A and B are shown apart, each in its own frame.
Chain A
Amino acid sequence: MAERATKERLLSVLDDLEVLSRELIEMLALSRSQKLPQAGEDTQILDLLVQRDRELQELMEVGREQGRVQEEMLLLEKEVEKRDSDIQQLQKQLKEAEHILATAVYQAKEKLKSIDKAKKGSISSEELIKYAHRISASNAVCAPLNWLPGDPRRPYPTDMEMRSGLLGHMANLPTNGVNGHLPGDALAAGRLPDVLTPQYPWQSSEVSVGMLPPHHGNDFGLEPPGHNKENEDEVEAMSTDSSSSSSDSD
């Protein structure tokens, strides 16, 4: 059975004291007025009164001590609240740190993916520069500076190059027919050196070979009718430049 609360006990003792003191006073007053001899009952009540009074004082002392303990408990409760607040603050900071770290890890993973992807399709800079010179030399990306209408050097991409590009794929153009209407294309294609035939890592083999018409593959090896020495010299000069610049890049 749980111990009774001190307040309850104090009030109970106080009630007892009130009842006992009233009984004692009434008894004494009655015995005085009626001149009756005291039968010793008042002594018993007096003893009880003294006992209860002592209990009351003891309990009051206990109550005061509990009051002091209560003050200490209030201080401790404030301390606990302060610690809780500190812990919550720390938890908030940890959450923020977690969020920042998660973002950083995600970005790092993305970068690693890009690095892996770049490593898988790595292209040597030398090859890239060679190819750049080659397509420049063939006037596939821009016309020669002194180009005029009637100049057999072409200021436009060849039909094969157009078809191997993205637009050619989208349109899914038929491979026959168009070629015949563009004599300059064959001319220019004939002018391309044989080194264009090998595949580069960034070129899709399907595109470059698959898009080539079956009868068109030999055109590369043919000497074109409009072939002139001047153009060849120019190409040679560019090739030399590219190889020298490639060497420089190393």
Chain B
Amino acid sequence: MAVAQTMQEKESEDCSLLPLVHDIIKCIDKESQDIHQELNKLRTKIQEAREQISNMPGIDTSPEEQQQQLASLREQVRTKNQLLQKYKSLCMFEVPKAS
């Protein structure tokens, strides 16, 4: 549980741009030459975030729509299970094999 929470925090930190912006502001304050490198890091980070978002599954719909689809699928499985159970409890058909 603790491991999962740590991973979640790490993921949240990973997608945050504030640490990089903070580093850039520090470089401006210090008038450091590393500012270009930090700017590149920010640009790369934004690009990576865009790619990550594009590859994330299941976010093409809103959470509400997705919940509706999930409920619909659950209902389908339930109905089909009931139907099969009903047919199976009716009787068995033994089809003679053609010799």
Q: Which residues of A contact B (CB under 8 A)?
A: 2-7, 10-11, 14, 17-18, 21, 24-25, 28-29, 32, 49-50, 53, 56-57, 60-67, 69-73, 76-77, 79-80, 83-84, 86-87, 90, 93-94, 96-97, 100
- Report if A49-B58 is in contact (Cβ < 8 Å); known contacts: A11-B53, A93-B93: no
**Is B3 on the interface with A (CB-CB < 8 A)?**
no
**Which of B11, B18, B62 touches A60 (beta carbons < 8 Å)?**
B11
Given contacts A25-B39, A57-B12, A72-B70, 7 further A-B contacts (CB under 8 A): A28-B25, A49-B21, A60-B12, A66-B66, A70-B57, A76-B76, A80-B73
> Closest residue of chain B to A49, judged by CB?
B21
**Which of B28, B58, B96 touches A28 (beta carbons < 8 Å)?**
B28
Q: Is the interface of A mostly helix, strand, loop or mixed?
A: helix
- Residue contact A5 to B50, C-beta cutoff 8 Å: no
**Is B61 on the interface with A (CB-CB < 8 A)?**
yes
Q: Is the interface of B mostly helix, strand, loop or mixed?
A: helix
- Residue contact A70 to B95, C-beta cutoff 8 Å: no
Total A-B pairs, Cβ < 8 A = 134
Contact code string B42-79 (vs A, CB < 8 Å = 1, else 0):
10001001100110111111111111011001101100
- Residue contact A66 to B63, C-beta cutoff 8 Å: yes
**Is B40 on the interface with A (CB-CB < 8 A)?**
no
- Residue contact B93 to A80, C-beta cutoff 8 Å: no
User: How many residues of B are counted as interface, with CB atoms below 8 angstroms from the partner's CB atoms?
Assistant: 46
A93: chain B residues within 8 A (beta carbon) = 93, 95
B80: chain A residues within 8 A (beta carbon) = 80, 83-84, 87
- Residue contact A67 to B95, C-beta cutoff 8 Å: no
- Residue contact A25 to B95, C-beta cutoff 8 Å: no
- Residue contact A63 to B59, C-beta cutoff 8 Å: yes
Q: Which residues of B contact A (CB under 8 A)?
A: 8, 11-12, 15-18, 21, 24-25, 28-29, 31, 39, 42, 46, 49-50, 53-54, 56-67, 69-70, 73-74, 76-77, 80-81, 83-84, 87, 93, 95-96
Q: How far is the CA of A149 from the CA of B69 in the complex (A)?
A: 103
Q: How far is the CA of A70 from the CA of B80 in the complex (A)?
A: 21
- Residue contact B59 to A7, C-beta cutoff 8 Å: yes
B96: chain A residues within 8 A (beta carbon) = 100
B73: chain A residues within 8 A (beta carbon) = 73, 76-77, 80
> Closest residue of chain A to B52, judged by CB?
A60
> Closest residue of chain B to A75, judged by CB?
B73
- Residue contact A76 to B63, C-beta cutoff 8 Å: no
**Which of A7, A77, A100 touches B56 (beta carbons < 8 Å)?**
A7
Q: How far is the CA of A36 from the CA of B12 in the complex (A)?
A: 36
- Residue contact B84 to A87, C-beta cutoff 8 Å: yes
- Residue contact B21 to A4, C-beta cutoff 8 Å: no
Min distance, Cβ A112 to any Cβ of chain B, angstroms: 23
**Which of A11, A25, A77, A83 touches B81 (beta carbons < 8 Å)?**
A83
- Residue contact B21 to A25, C-beta cutoff 8 Å: yes
